[in-house]
Structures are given as C-alpha cells and as structure tokens.
Chains A and B, each alone.
Chain A
Amino acid sequence: MVSVAFINPFSEEGRQIVRELGDLNSVYEENGDLIDLVIHSRSQDISDDESIPHNLIDLAIKRLEWYIKKKNNPDFDYKKYSYLYNPKITRFDVIAFYLLSQAISVKFGPNSRESRAMAESQGKLMESRLGELSLRDRKHLLSTILGSLLIGDVKWTTLGDLLSSRKIRLPDLVMSHGNLILDEEEFAESFQDKLENRDSHKMYELLIGDHIKELILNKMIMQKTENYITDVYKKSQRKVEPNPILLDLADRISEVLNEPIISYGYRGTEKKMEASPFDTEAFPPCVKMVLDGIKSGGRNDAIILFLTPFLSYARLYPDVFRRNITLKVSDVDPQLEAVEKEILPLIYEAAERCTPPLFEDQPQEKVNINAKMGFGMHSEIELKHEGETTWYTPMGCEKVKLHLPSLCKPDEICKKIGNPLSYYIRRLNDIKYSKNSKTD
C-alpha cells in the first residue's frame, strides 16, 4: 500500500517521519538509501550524476526544481526526476518538504512569492503523483485522506480559506442545505426527486466524481502548506537566530526560483519584460478611466488599491506574475527616481482630477499610497522604511469588476487577459512589434 504521507505530508504518518529524523545536521550527509532508491526508480535517467540527489538537501532542491522546470522549460525531461513519482521516496520526501517549507518561512515569510511557489509545487506534485498511481491506489488514497480531513457532514463554509484564496470557486461545488455533496449516495439522496429520469450516476460522475474530490484535496493541502509556513514564521519571530542550515537552503531556493529567467527566458512567444518608462497608450480602459479622475464615489479605492499597485508594477516590475520572486521597489529603482519622477506624479494627477480632488479633503491618503508600495505608513517615501508594508500586487480583472465595477469597460483585448497588467504588457508588445515592422 502506498503511504498517505506520499500525498499528504501533514498526515500522522508524515509527522511520524519527521519525529524520527533526529539530528538536523544529518540532512547534509551522503544518504546511501536515498541514492539507491533513486537509481532504481522506474525509467529514471542515471546517465548524469548531477541529476541524482545525494542527500536530503539535494532532494529538497530537486523537488522544487522539478516544479520550476516543468513550468518554464519546454524541453523538460521528467526522466531526470522519475524518483519523485516513486512511492518509496516518501520517507525522504516528507523531510524534504518540511525543510523547504521551514526555510521559506524563516527567510521569506508567508504571502511571499516563494511561499506561493512552495504551495503550488506541492499541489502539482500531488497531482502528478496521483495520476501515476493505479486506479485502485488512487481511489483508496483519495478517500482515506479526504475522509481524515473532512469528517462527517461537511459544511461548505469549512472551505472558507480555499474560497478566500480563490483556490476553489463556489460554482464548482455542489451544495445542498449547506452541506457539500461529495459522495454518490449523498448526491442521490439529495437530488433524487429532481433528477427525474436522468441518469443519476452519470450526472454525479460528471459534476462531482473523483475530480472534484481531488481538486478539494489538492487545494486543501496547498492551503495547509501556506498555513504551515505562516505558523513557522510566527514562531520563528520569537526566536533569535534561525538555523543556518535553513538559511543556507533558503539561498539555494532563491537560485532555483530565479533560474528560469536566466537560462530559459520565457515560454513560447512571451518575451522578458524589462522595466521601462510608461507608454500610456498601452494602458487598459480601467486605468485610463482612473487617470481621467473619478467623478463619483469610490475615489479612495480606485486611486490607492487599484491605480497605485498597477502603475508601480507596470513601471518597475511588469513581469511580477510570470516570475516567482518577490522584489522590493528599490531592487528595481534603487534611487527611487522612477517612483518620484514618474509614478507618483501620475498618481497625484489622477487624484487631483477626482471630484472632489482626493487630497483636498483627505490628505492623509498620501500615506496609504506610500504604504501600498511597501514604504510603511509614513508621509514621506524613505528607503529606511521599505519593507514595513508589502508592495501590493495589482488587482485582477475579476476583483476590479467586483470592487470597482464602474471602472471596467472591457474592450477586445480584455477578453484575452485576466489582469490589467497583462493587458498592458500585451499592448506594449503589440505596439513595439508594429513600430519595428514599420521601420524595417
């Protein structure tokens, strides 16, 4: 039987494995059992010693590398990572999982891009692993793990976290009187009279079936990973010195996450997007609308929550959603020149054009603009305060439509994107392309 910890490191079996580890220093020791297992995994490529993890830290790095390469490298060679699909890896894999999560907690904290990459990699790995198992093992694991995570009648509200982080969408769930319908008997019982002469089994399989259960399981474990990172982070705040092994690992994690940009560039036609001066032509309709000034309600949200993150990322870090690393404003704009000469003036102008002008009755809102760029709650932007707040990433279209519906006047390009920032990048590339083809 495949261990549940192969899929769920938070299971009792998983925790037991961690308890048995003993000395943390052993993670650097050459691990004969691990190597043996790796080279005997089905279809594992052993031609290159580089692709074989020699100790638990290696394994941790490989585990993340698998995710990044798979995502970014069109020529991804999964034979180099076959051992990750081998259920026997579980007792090492669980340790690797905890090492990564802890290193990310102490160095980058929750809500960082690193933490998101960790949760996503866990989700993807689970998905691939379940996919490789026999149908019998797969069903068995699914029902055991889900059964231990969701006990008895499950209210849809128990998935509040997953809904809030948009890992799951409400329309994908089937509910009846507050209960989440997951099992076929429950399904038949709840909807029998409505289904009339329709094939209840088929309906169940199509609308719920294993795929919804797998989705929920997958997202729950991703959420647990994020929550775990948050917990460790909170605890580590009280300690004086994080373990150097973890800090060292954290540095290597950064390297792995940075690698795709260095070695592969971007997928397909997507090109790397450097920070470059604004091209207001390329702004999406919603941004143009705010720049013209908000004439009715919602000034504050439009300027602070919507415009400020958009402009700062569009100018300084347009690639934020395609890269896995967290940056600070000063990483891109060390003298804060672009901030002061290009970004703030545009924001202030837009605020001025509101009726009534935003800073006229609410001058304190300038502080909030600084805060959204990561400079804390201060009236002046100063490097020494950077990091006191986080640099807010731009709102997606869905959020705009919900919070600031009057801003969204979609055009043709909007149909192809999900975030005003992607709109901007797309248009920028189009404009560049048409200019180049003219001059050629």
Chain B
Amino acid sequence: MEEKERFLQPASPEERRRYYREEWNVKDIPDFISNSIIQREFGFDHMGRGPNDRYRVFRSMDLLRKFLRYRAPFAAYSSVAFYKKPRRRDGWIKSELVFDVDAKDIPIRECGCAGVCEICLNQAREIVCSLMDTLKGDMGLKDMHVIYSGRGYHLRVFDEEVMELDSDVRGQIVQYIIGAEVPKNEYAQDGMTYKLEHFTIPFGYPKVFTQRTKYAILHLKDHIQIDDINKKLLKDAIKNQDILREDKWGIFKGKIGPQRYQRLIKSIASLNMGLVDAKVSIDLKRILRLPSSLHSMVSMKCMEVKDIGKFDPFQDAVPKFVFERKSK
C-alpha cells in the first residue's frame, strides 16, 4: 500500500521545476507538434485553476523550450487547430481529428475505483485499440498517433482528408466508431422486409456495433448500475458472458429473450456514448495537453505512445521525482 501512495498524487511546484529542469527534453515533443509549431495556439495553466493563459504562440521550438523550463507550468496545452493567425485564433486552416478516452469516464468500468487505476487505464487502452481498428479498417485512416494523457488516451488523426471536416461530420464519426446507436434490424428489398440482426452482418456499422456491444457485455459486473437494466437482466447477461466470448450471439439472444435483448443493447448503445468525450472531437478549436508535459494533478507524463500493445503507464509515464518521494 505504501508503494501506491506515492503515485497519482499532485506534484508540488518544486517537483514541477525539477521535472522540467532535469527530466524533460524538448525533443520529447512529437514531430507533429514541432513541424507545425508556428500555426498552433498554446495554452497554459500556471496555478492549477484551468488553462487561462491562452492565445500564446511560439516562433520556434527553442522559445517553447525556454518557456517550459522557466515557467514549469502546472499544465501545458496546444491547439488541435492550425491557424494562419494563431495568436488571434483566426484564419482556421484545419484541425486534427481527436478522440479522448478518459479512464475515469469509461461507462462500464470493472474496477469501480474513484479516480483512475491500472485496471481502468488498461480498459482505456483496449478501447483505443478497437477505435483505431475501425478508423483504419472502415475509414481508411492511417496517420494516427496515440498519446497517453495522464488519465487516459488521446487518439490524434492527421490524415489530410479528415482534417478539414466540420464538427457535424466529426460528431457522426464519433457515433459510428463507438457504436452509439442500435443498427436497424429490418432491411427491405422489392417490397419484402427481411430481419437481419446486427451480429449476422460481418461488415459496416453493424459489425462495429457488435464489437462494442460484445466488449461492454463482457465487462459487466454485478455492482454496475445501468439505466433501464434491472438486476435480473444484468445477472442473466453476466451469466451468459461465456457464450458471447465464442461469438454465439444467436444463442445468447435466445437465453436473454428477444425483448430483453433489445432493451439490453439499447442501453448499451446509449452507454457507448461515454466511450469517448464527444465534446473534444467536435470542438475544432480545442486545446489538448501537450505531449511530454507534466500532468501535475496525478504526477504523470503526458507522452506519445509508440507501441500501444506494450504500453504500461505505471512503468513508462511516471516521472523520476515520484520514485524519489518519501512515503508518508
């Protein structure tokens, strides 16, 4: 227990200064920022009361380096937007497409912890992986970067064809990749209607929905409360999890009963809305935590994740000063 107490505690001003002086290196800022530094707006939170020092611009990486070294801010951010005049947030050119998966907001959390912990951070990691699969397999997006944000992940997409999309389309992309609505199950042709359940369609949106629903059902625990799902239904869904593990959806649905099954997937669809923070994705002028900077609330490094399969934040994103803290 003593071990754990050192982690996830806020960083003191002194620790912040040490971090930026001794551990941080301007080279840790990813190329996708340094290549476009003059087109981005930067924002800082100096006192831990929110990023109210905004509209900052830097003409070079060296100036940014000096600023961070000297000021050791509580938090640092940069815009997802590229501007002609970043100082006035004017002359919008394009914006990264971003998805924010915050571990503490995951709708069905196995851990049930109060903040974030290893279990829900790992869930966040799994969710990011599945979102990336859909973005790639369905939408053909390739230029994606994953950032560990300190309490979850930012997925940042740079493919040119999506960077100019407006927020309405971005909102729809979010809804598509998270499975926010139940796919229709009746399809018409030549005046006849055919029933096709989402799990019998191995492509397109129904497939995405099937994957997200499977993930949700397999993570159900009996302590979890869900609107419209009573104790009995929850229990039955949990009891039959193994059937779903083998993708035997028809049998699963049979065990639950068709009407209760509809109720179950409808609730899960609305829960899926919480998989990513849609507000972040649709906001073209958002600022996001700067990779390499310190998340002072939890004393974790915000950093680019090169191999998401192997990433472990408690190994890779803990600054040195945390290990040197004395346990209280």
Contacts and interface: CB of A to CB of B under 8 A. Distances in A.
Contacts of B137: 176-177
Q: Interface residue tally of chain A, by bracket? A: 35 or more
A390 to B, nearest CB: 17
Nearest to B174: A402
Contact of A179 (B140, B172, B203, B273): B140
A170 B206 CA distance: 12
Given A164-B169, A170-B173, A403-B279, A157 B203 contact: no
B196 A194 contact: no
Nearest to A169: B172
Interface stretch (B6-14, B123-131, B175-183, B212-220): B175-183
B243 interface: no
Contact of B165 (A157, A174, A179, A194): A157
Contacts of B161: 155, 157, 178
B317 interface: no
B282 interface: yes
Contacts of A166: 168
Contact of A175 (B140, B181, B279): B140
A194 B140 CA distance: 18
A209 B136 CA distance: 24
Interface string B185-218: 0011100001010001111110000000000000
B26 interface: no
Contacts of A173: 204
Contacts of B138: 175-178
Q: Interface residue tally of chain B, by bracket? A: 35 or more
A175 B139 contact: yes
B282 to A, nearest CB: 7
Nearest to B184: A171
B28 interface: no
Interface in A240-269: none
Interface string B234-267: 0000000000000000000000000000000000
B278 A194 contact: no
Nearest to A157: B161
A170 B176 CA distance: 7
B53 to A, nearest CB: 16
A321 interface: no
A94 B309 CA distance: 58
B146 to A, nearest CB: 20
A405 interface: yes
B30 interface: no
B139 A156 contact: yes
Contacts of A196: 202
